[in-house]
């Protein structure tokens, strides 16, 4: 919590430095000269939130690479045919709280690798937690098993991140070296990789090079990386690199899907009508589970 308080102080202190610099142009008062040094707190801010800062730069650079490589010909529901059938990467019923297969409901349409990504939580009576919202242990999905969505080989593992601090109202303090936090990347086919992100530290049960099968536990749900609360981030991508790969639409097999009761308590955004949902696809506002 000390580091977070230092981070918040730095966010305000840098503005004191900028303002003092401007005032020093009109006054020789020594106070303004000294306060100008506060602008150096921008370095502290970046250092304490380095993964977000450098991750944002990497996303922008990756988008340029993808634009040069693919132009406007990115995979879509209409053009992409999967070589693999996928199951949901968890047991039981979870709610989709971010993501869809169209631009209107997409997790992050303008970030190619996350265009068809999904965020999942568990809801009870429209709430993802009970009690203290800053305590990760009070979230229903925290520590729940995360499974391999299909047979494959583990390509990458990150297990160096502590849980992000939950500050409420969508605010958090990232304590990770990567925006995805702890994650497992599994290769299922030559151009199909699944990413399970924001995993609990020291819960990962597999290692690079290990063969895994559909339904095998890989780790536990956590709150690492860019995460406002415990949840699972899941997406498919066409290559092993997070920033320069392209997201792929996912059609799930043997899927049970139903509207989420009291979903508006969690999210006030509109939900896609069930009649518009092609078989095997999912979108935010629905409860999903393997059939």
Query: Which one is predicted more confidently, 135 or 31?
Result: 135
Tell me how far apart the alpha carbons of residues 181 and 207 are, in angstroms, rounded to a whole number.
Answer: 16
- 26 pLDDT band, cuts 50/70/90, is confident
pLDDT value at residue 173: 83
- 65 pLDDT band, cuts 50/70/90, is very high
Q: How many CB atoms lie under 10 A from the CB of residue 273?
A: 9
Question: What residues contact residue 88 under an 8 Å CB cut-off, 6+ apart?
Answer: 94, 149, 252, 255, 288, 289, 290
* Domains of the chain, earliest start first: 2-48 (no CATH), 82-290 (2.70.70.10)
pLDDT value at residue 50: 62
Residue 44 has pLDDT above 60, yes or no: no
Residue 96 has pLDDT above 60, yes or no: yes
Above pLDDT 70, what percent of the chain? 87
190-220 pLDDT, tens digit each:
999 999 999 999 999 999 999 999 999 999 9
Residue 114 has pLDDT above 70, yes or no: yes
Nearest Cα neighbor of 101 from 268, 257, 263, 261 is 257
Q: Average pLDDT in the 22-28 region?
A: 76
């Amino acid at each position: 919590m000390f580091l977070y308080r230092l981070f918040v102080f730095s966010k305000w202190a840098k503005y004191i430095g900028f303002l003092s610099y401007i005032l020093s142009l009109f006054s020789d008062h020594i106070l303004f000269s000294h306060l100008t040094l506060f602008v150096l707190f921008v370095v502290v801010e970046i250092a304490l939130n380095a993964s977000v800062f450098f991750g944002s730069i990497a996303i922008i650079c990756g988008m340029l690479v993808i634009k040069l490589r693919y132009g406007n010909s990115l995979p879509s529901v209409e053009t992409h045919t999967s070589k693999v059938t996928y199951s949901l990467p968890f047991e039981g019923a979870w709610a989709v709280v971010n993501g869809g297969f169209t631009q209107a409901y997409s997790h992050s349409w303008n970030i190619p690798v996350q265009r068809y990504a999904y965020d999942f939580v568990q809801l009870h009576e429209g709430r993802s937690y009970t009690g203290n919202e800053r305590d990760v242990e009070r979230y229903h999905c925290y520590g729940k098993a995360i499974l391999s969505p299909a047979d494959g080989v583990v390509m990458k593992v990150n297990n160096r991140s502590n849980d992000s601090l939950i500050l409420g109202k969508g605010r958090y303090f990232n304590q990770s070296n990567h925006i995805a936090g702890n994650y497992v990347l599994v290769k299922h086919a030559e151009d199909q990789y699944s990413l399970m992100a924001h995993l609990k530290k020291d819960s990962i049960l597999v290692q690079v090079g290990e063969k895994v099968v559909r339904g095998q536990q890989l780790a536990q749900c956590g709150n690492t990386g860019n995460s406002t609360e415990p949840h699972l981030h899941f997406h498919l991508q066409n290559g092993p690199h997070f920033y320069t790969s392209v997201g792929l639409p996912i059609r799930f097999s043997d899927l049970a899907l139903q509207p989420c009761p009291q979903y508006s308590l969690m999210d006030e955004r509109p939900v896609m009508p069930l009649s518009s949902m092609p078989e095997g696809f999912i979108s935010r506002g629905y409860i999903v589970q393997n059939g």
